[in-house]
Amino acid sequence: MLSQSVVGASVFSSASFFHKLFAEPQSRRFKIGACDWSIGKLADVGAFELGKQIGLDGIQVSLGTEKDGMKLRRPEVQQIYRQAVKKTGVEVSALAIGELNSIPYKSDVRAIEWVSDSIDVCQTMGCKVVLLAFFSKGDLKGDKKGTDEVVRRLKEVAPKAEKAGVILGIESWLSAEEHMDIIERVGSRAVQVYYDVANSNKMGYDIYEEIRWLGKQKQICEFHMKENGFLLGQGKVDFQKVRAAIDDIDYSGWMQIESAIPRGQAMLESYRANEKYLRSVFPREA
């Protein structure tokens, strides 16, 4: 059973901003995006035109790669992306630093600068969330030393994120309780969980209960709506039950489609089907 831990009062130094961020609108609104890497456009501005073809509201954009020097930090690249947004009407829904899977935040000093700089990029690009990936070499499961270092680094950068109104979202193999342990130790509302329904389901967690428990503490910043090897709605995740859990926590905002391409099926065809299905479960106004 999940413990009823609560973040201390000290974490609310930016309460006014976060109240506005999580305030319920008169009419609930869901926006559907997709990860640029999942549609074959990793750190590629062409993701916006493709997103328009799919029917998406936004694209979760990669900050870049090690090879390109995390190129979205450069003003000239940001301008190209802003032009694509204006041309297509597809928003920058969030940022992501997937390169942390191979150059871990827990152990590589380069990652410290990337995470700090991503906050500035968020402000420039008009989004509020940065996904910090903790898989592969960056995995925190069972790694106390690595987790302790992540907590230390997040404590250092969290005040900057709070001031900017940006949330650093942790996506990992950890359980809800393990995520909350990190969040409580950091002590900042600028650090939350980026909840991936397929990853947590794969780990055997009760994702519907986890969504409720984390969400009622306002600790889920965004969702990856994902299946591995199946279209959304045809795999292991019950998205109607996900919707019920999301209703229970009064979440409104972005959900990003990731993976969900059956073997042998084309990406564009799959993502149009995924967008249509997800929109049926999470209409813009609901």
Q: Inform me whether the pLDDT recorded for 188 exceeds 50.
A: yes
Please state the pTM of the whole predicted model. Answer: 0.90
Q: Inform me whether the pLDDT recorded for 2 exceeds 60.
A: no
Percentage of the residues of the chain whose pLDDT score is greater than 70? 90
| Long-range pairs of 160-164 with CB within 8 A, sequence gap ≥ 24 | 160/116, 160/119, 161/119, 161/188, 161/190, 161/191, 162/13, 162/14, 162/17, 162/188, 162/189, 162/190, 163/14, 164/119, 164/120, 164/122, 164/123
Report d(CA 46, CA 57) in Å as an integer.
Answer: 15
Spell out the domain ranges in the chain. Answer: 27-281
Determine the pLDDT at residue 285.
Answer: 76
Determine the pLDDT at residue 29.
Answer: 84
Question: Looking at residues 75-80, what average pLDDT do you find?
Answer: 98
User: 27-281: what fold?
Assistant: TIM Barrel (3.20.20)
| Rounded (5°) CA angle 43-264-222 | 45
Determine the pLDDT at residue 284.
Answer: 80
Out of 10-14, 27-31, 71-75, pick the least confident: 10-14
Q: Could you read off the pLDDT of 149-184 as tens digits, one per residue?
A: 999 999 999 999 999 999 999 999 999 999 999 999
